[in-house]
Amino acid sequence: MSALAHPTGIPDLAEREKDKDQERDIPHDAASLISEQTLLAKKEGIKPAFLAKVNVLNAALHEIGMGRYQWELFITAGFGWFADNIWLQAIAIVMPAVANEWVGYPHVRMATFALYAGLIVGATFWGMSCDVIGRRLAWNSTLVIAGIFGIAAGGAPNYVGFCALIACIGFGAGGNLPVDGTMFLEFLPGNKQYLLTFLSVWWAVGQVVGSLISWAFLANYGCETPPAGTFCSRESNMGWRYTYFCLGALMLFLWAIRFFVLPVYESPKFLASVGRDEEAVQVIHNIAKRNGKETSLTVEDLRAAAAPYLGDKLDGPVETKFSTLELIKHSFDDMRGEHIRALFSTPRLAWSTSLVIFCYASLGLAYPLFNGFLSGYLADKNANFGDTSLNATYAAYTYQAACGVPGSIVAALLVNWSRGGRKFAMAFFTVMAGIFLFALTQARTGPAINGLVSIASFFENAFYGVLYGYAPEVFPTPSRGTGDALASAASRLTGIFAPIIAVYSPAAKYPDGPVYASASIFVATGIVMLFLPIETVGRTALVPAYQTLRAAPRRSADSEIDSDSDIDIDIDIDDNKDWDNHPVEDAAVPETLVAPTDPNIVSITRTRLIPRSHTLLTAHVPLLSHIHAPGLSGFSSQDKGGIDLPGYSVLEHYAGVATVLDRSSSRGGKIDGGKDSDSGRGGEGIARETSQLHEDTSTWEAHPLLELMARGREIAVDHQRKRESVDTLERAVEDYQEAFGMAPQRGLRCGEHTLASSLNATPIPSLIPLAHTSVLPLLAMPPRLLRERAMEKIDVLGMMALEFHPEEEAGEGIRMLGLDEVGASRHVAKDYPSLLTPLVHLLPPSPADAPLTLTIWTEDNAFRIPSERILAKSRELARRGLVWDEAELLAAEAEVDGLKGWGNVCDPPIDRSVGNQTRYDVAEASELAALFVVDPLQYMDVCEHPEHLVMNGEMIMKEDTAVRRWEPIMASSRLMHGSEMLGAPTRDTMDIIEREVPWRNKTDSRLFFRGGPTGIFHTSARWDWRSSQRDRLALFAKDRHARAHDDPLLVDRGVGQGGVVIREMWTMIRSRLERRGSGFVMCHPNGEDALSDCPGSFHGCIDLIDTVVWSGFVDQETSLSYKYRLDVDGYGWTSRWRKELSTNSVVLKATLYPEWWSTQAIPWYHYVPARYDFSDLFDIMAFFTGSPERDVPGRDDLAEEIAAHGREFALEHLRWEDMQSYMFLFLLEYRRAWADDRRAATYRYTESDAGMGHVDNVELDL
């Protein structure tokens, strides 16, 4: 897993010091970003600087993942929930026995009042103080206080003393829920926060254990109700005392486990909130170590994230070493009410806080009004049926307590799966509890009473489980403890009235009176819950309303960050044409954007609602249901062989819309892959402190895709500036040095004037880094072995070779070797000589006995997959100027040679069962399909993200592909972990649509694909990499009016297979899909769900038919009428990409293969990236063309803009001379690797200039 990056979009500290005098003149976009982030933070009642820090901490926790520490914390946090309920049950159960002993007190049941008084004070004190003195001190205090006073209560000499000790128990136990829930939540990765609801299982278990302990002691050591006017002696009524002795000792035992066996760290969020950044970072590292993981989070990451919001005050450390007494004193000095005010700082937050407190308060009254006196209620009812034994009463009590355990479990399981989210789940459970309590009042038999009480207990524990998980999620982190404290105190405050009502209310004379009251409150509160403004399903609640993805991939260890780089960003979002012109009625906007309350709505883009029937996912689950965290990491071009897209890294265009509903909130900065060049910065990267909004979309300033397009404009401007600035050879050398951290190869001066016809007279290494990085590992291969292996491949089928003779004065200087006149080589051979002949005489001479020879793989797909372990070490050696010992290299290759399966190429190898399974369960498919905006690099990197192999592994290459030795082959495309050098393709590359068809003249808004069923007749039991894509397109493109499955609209072009019967082709597709049972299948051609047992219930395919069309021959005039075109691997790649872009249509590209131009083509600016399994095609098209119901317009203007940029890119940057510029740099790189003396083939400059990016032309040997 990649390390966290220095958050981009934020100047480095050194840069801030250097430019302090200029900080008032913040660029427009940076000022806008800071203002925007400040407003969002203000909205949530937190400080922007703290928000920035927490985003970084959340990313670190996300990176570490769920591990040993969190599971230990789940257990110890559960102790607190266990203890909270056990004391509530204890007082309720022992009350009859206490009343029998102290009959002189007519209202002995008011002891419950004492417990609740203590709970109120405890919840308020511990909850609020933990926001000031820290969570850990409160965490370690509550159980021991309750345990000590619990034992003492068992020895109470009189009723007054008993009540006083019970209140002290409440003071300790009152802090359990607010502190323990807060503590647990703040250590959870966002995708595991549902475990907070699972804590309620401990609460239910506490109820059961309390009941069992009480039953055991009271039934055996308690006295029956004495005659009127008498009482039970202490000696005959020790059962309730033994209960308290036992419970107190149990609390001390649990405290000992917490304190000595499974100690916890202080919350890093709390530490960051008080400026103790060093400790916060150390805690993150301690957690990673406990989990067996690593993290590279640093204090500088936190401070740099917060720097823009602090003005001239850097967020430096504060004194961190406080004694316990100092912490307590500090807590009261600082407790001035700001945490309370923060909870009501905005209307939305005030409304949310108020309703949460109301729900706690009302349930806090209803629950004890019935359950607090349940033992007496059961005794009275059993007495009516002739059973007065204590055993019968406590047995019934224990049964209902036991039924609460599955209630908590069901709540935890359903809370994330409910279409209505947490709000609907707890509202449902609460109303149902009320309904069964109403039914209880009509019960007339013992079994009916016990059954209804048990069912009610099931629903009561269920709604409490959801509520206790929901509340901490909606309170801002700095005030979360306070919010929990207020809610818990409100619950206790109203609960204190339960004994008053039960004792003094006229209705209390009737056993069913409190039951009616409790049931009514449950039903009313359940209805109120539906009006809560915030839904928390799918959001990372560590910072309310913000989805905290990692900011950016960290630069590799050997690639330094240039703190003096100039960051100049100018965001241009066309507000005049925003979706704000088409508002949706407030009632139509779901309360949550991830799990809406309306079951027919599954996603929303700006003010557009997408009906469920239009989401085409691999497992028919709602789009954007949650974040798939492992997909959010990046890599350095220097670490992974050069697959680095400036302006489009794994997170750059992606993190801000990792769910389409996220709100990106910062831009700019740097990303990995070099130093200060455009490629090195990754187009300056992006720090995505994203927010998964759970609010009315009218608050959005821009749709996430608009931000991606605006970012594309920035990157395009940066690229143009780079082209204008690198206008001399010296600047090109500097650019190379800065981008790759090493000296360039000799020979660059030779091309300075010869290539003058190009727009870029001097090649710009950083804009086309694959010319360097794909060759880099070869600098570590022994020259003799490199030449030997290159020559061995010349006669292999599908290979050709070019031999260069720059010393020849006459002729082209190129000789072809191993030409396959029958296969694809003839097409490659046709154009390579004309492309490279002008460059040959510019190359430095090669040894006469070993002329430079380039072996070329002529097929589209990847050639070989060597071990990443070997390639990684090769890159490391190359940067240090070293080469492999030949014997060591051969031994390393022998270890992996012939190993089968994708997983074995990785370092370390991944489990083959993870990477190469051909079937996967629905849940896994759902996670992989949850992302709307594709990140092709994530799919490409099978070692960093093996989870994607289950979807794309067989599309790339057959599963049984063997790991092979490392060979110097050039190809026109390759896989992420391939060893091929990337060259520019020549076959059909110059195809172009010369006639420009204006956008207004394009009449068809459907998605057009031109291509045949290549690979569709593959007979292997496994699909090859092409047929899987084409089969999907065939499924997508069926006629909605087709009468049967074997009557598709797909028409064979008659190319290759010639006259194939379409009926047979479709039958083969169907049988293949049925054999695989693949989640890829989305629909039958008649529009029915292929996986559903209820045909016709899913209409996504019918809708998609209106978007994707598949037909027979289409002439050029007709094809140009389509506004949207689909480009897939095996067709537009690698040769026809330029032609597709030149059509002045929007090109959607689905690829797993980087190519030579990949670093220059900007997603969402020149083209639109699409998922490899096509599951996002509908949503992309709906964004541009509007909702299918035509109630929300699309963004045709943005589509026109992308189409124009794409055509411009094809005409200005994919020209013949651009390919020559690239190939010139490539051949110089390859020539250096070919040379015996590689040092002599490298620029030489003075030692004092080494590593500084400075070039003195006088000292250079060019």
E runs forming strands in 1134-1197: 1146-1150, 1168-1169
Of the candidates 127, 114, 120, 117, the one whose C-alpha atom is nearest the C-alpha of residue 177 is 127
CB 963 within 8 A of CB 851: no
Summarize the confidence of residues 132-146 as an average pLDDT: 86
The per-residue pLDDT for 1039 is 36
Summarize the confidence of residues 198-212 as an average pLDDT: 84
The per-residue pLDDT for 504 is 72
Range from 751-755, 1039-1043, 1084-1088 that averages highest in pLDDT: 751-755
Summarize the confidence of residues 781-797 as an average pLDDT: 88
The per-residue pLDDT for 834 is 81
Residue with tokens 């409440």: 170
Residue with tokens 């524990």: 461
- What percent of the chain has pLDDT above 70? 56
The per-residue pLDDT for 976 is 72
- The answer to whether residue 361 scores a pLDDT higher than 80 is yes
Say which DSSP state 585 is in: P
3-state secondary structure 643-655: CCCCCCCCCCCCH
Strands 1122-1128 and 1004-1008: parallel
Contacts of 865 (CB under 8 A, 6+ apart): 902, 905, 957, 961, 963, 964, 975, 977, 978, 979
Rg, C-alpha atoms of the chain: 35
Q: What is the rounded distance in angstroms from the CA atom of residue 522 to the CA atom of residue 359?
A: 10
Kindly report the CA angle at 570 between 569 and 571, in degrees rounded to 5? 115
Range name among 483-487, 588-592, 1203-1207 with the lowest pLDDT average: 588-592
DSSP labels, 657-678: GSSTTEE--------SSSSSSH
Greater confidence (429 vs 555) lies with 429
CB 833 within 8 A of CB 814: yes
Classify 784 as helix, strand or coil.
Answer: helix
Report all structural domains of the chain as residue ranges with CATH numbers, in order of start. 60-529 (1.20.1250.20), 999-1216 (3.40.50)
Range name among 335-349, 362-376, 691-705, 1123-1137 with the lowest pLDDT average: 691-705
- pLDDT-based confidence at residue 311 (cuts at 50, 70, 90): low
- The answer to whether residue 604 scores a pLDDT higher than 60 is no
Summarize the confidence of residues 558-580 as an average pLDDT: 26
- The answer to whether residue 633 scores a pLDDT higher than 60 is no
Q: What is the rounded distance in angstroms from the CA atom of residue 126 to the CA atom of residue 134?
A: 10
| Prediction pTM value | 0.48
The per-residue pLDDT for 999 is 94
The per-residue pLDDT for 164 is 93
Q: Which amino acid is at 490?
A: A
- The answer to whether residue 547 scores a pLDDT higher than 80 is no
The per-residue pLDDT for 775 is 92
Q: What is the rounded distance in angstroms from the CA atom of residue 1190 to the CA atom of residue 1200?
A: 19
The per-residue pLDDT for 1144 is 93
The per-residue pLDDT for 32 is 43
3-state secondary structure 609-629: EEEHHHCCCCCCCCCCCCCCH
pLDDT tens digits for range 715-739: 888 888 888 888 777 788 888 888 8
- What percent of the chain has pLDDT above 90? 13
CB 144 within 8 A of CB 171: no
- pLDDT-based confidence at residue 430 (cuts at 50, 70, 90): very high
The per-residue pLDDT for 1100 is 38
- The answer to whether residue 567 scores a pLDDT higher than 90 is no
Q: How many Cβ atoms are within 10 Å of 1216's Cβ, its own excluded? A: 16
The per-residue pLDDT for 1219 is 87
Two tokens, residue 295:
């993290």
The per-residue pLDDT for 156 is 93
CB 992 within 8 A of CB 1139: yes
Q: Which amino acid is at 1055?
A: V
DSSP labels, 140-190: TTHHHHHHHHHHHHHT-SSHHHHHHHHHHHHHHHTTHHHHHHHHHHTTS-G
Summarize the confidence of residues 395-411 as an average pLDDT: 79
C-alpha dihedral over 958, 959, 962, 965, to 10 degrees?
70
Say which DSSP state 745 is in: B
- The answer to whether residue 1000 scores a pLDDT higher than 70 is yes
The per-residue pLDDT for 817 is 84
The per-residue pLDDT for 290 is 92
pLDDT tens digits for range 181-192: 788 888 888 667
Sheet of strand 981-982: strand arrangement: 814-817, 799-804, 853-857, 970-971, 981-982
Of the candidates 868, 953, 946, the one whose C-alpha atom is nearest the C-alpha of residue 907 is 868
Q: What is the rounded distance in angstroms from the CA atom of residue 681 to the CA atom of residue 567?
A: 10
Range from 219-223, 487-491, 622-626, 649-653 that averages highest in pLDDT: 219-223
The per-residue pLDDT for 988 is 67
Q: What is the rounded distance in angstroms from the CA atom of residue 632 to the CA atom of residue 635?
A: 10
Summarize the confidence of residues 902-906 as an average pLDDT: 70
Q: What is the rounded distance in angstroms from the CA atom of residue 804 to the CA atom of residue 802?
A: 6
The per-residue pLDDT for 950 is 52
C-alpha dihedral over 623, 624, 629, 630, to 10 degrees?
30
CB 857 within 8 A of CB 1254: no
pLDDT tens digits for range 1187-1222: 655 666 788 999 999 999 999 999 888 888 888 888
- The answer to whether residue 345 scores a pLDDT higher than 90 is no
- The answer to whether residue 221 scores a pLDDT higher than 80 is yes
Range name among 333-337, 1065-1069, 1256-1260 with the lowest pLDDT average: 1256-1260
Q: What is the rounded distance in angstroms from the CA atom of residue 503 to the CA atom of residue 368?
A: 13
Q: What is the rounded distance in angstroms from the CA atom of residue 191 to the CA atom of residue 626?
A: 8
Q: What is the rounded distance in angstroms from the CA atom of residue 153 to the CA atom of residue 148?
A: 9
Strands 799-804 and 853-857: antiparallel
Range from 221-235, 257-271, 722-736 that averages highest in pLDDT: 257-271
The per-residue pLDDT for 572 is 25
Q: What is the rounded distance in angstroms from the CA atom of residue 371 to the CA atom of residue 498?
A: 10
Summarize the confidence of residues 591-615 as an average pLDDT: 27
Question: 856 φ, ψ to 5°?
Answer: -125, 130
- The answer to whether residue 272 scores a pLDDT higher than 80 is yes
- The answer to whether residue 440 scores a pLDDT higher than 80 is yes
Range name among 149-163, 499-513, 1014-1028 with the lowest pLDDT average: 1014-1028
- pLDDT-based confidence at residue 250 (cuts at 50, 70, 90): very high
The per-residue pLDDT for 1214 is 87
The per-residue pLDDT for 667 is 25
Produce one character per residue of 917-953: b if its CB has 16 or more CB atoms within 10 Å, e if not: eeebeeebbbbbbbbbbbbbbbbbbbbbbbbbbbbbb
DSSP labels, 911-948: PHHHHS-S---HHHHHHHT--SS--HHHHH-TTT-GGG
Q: Is the Cα torsion angle 1176, 1177, 1183, 1189 positive or negative in sign? A: negative
Contacts of 389 (CB under 8 A, 6+ apart): none
Classify 57 as helix, strand or coil.
Answer: helix
Kindly report the CA angle at 864 between 863 and 868, in degrees rounded to 5? 140
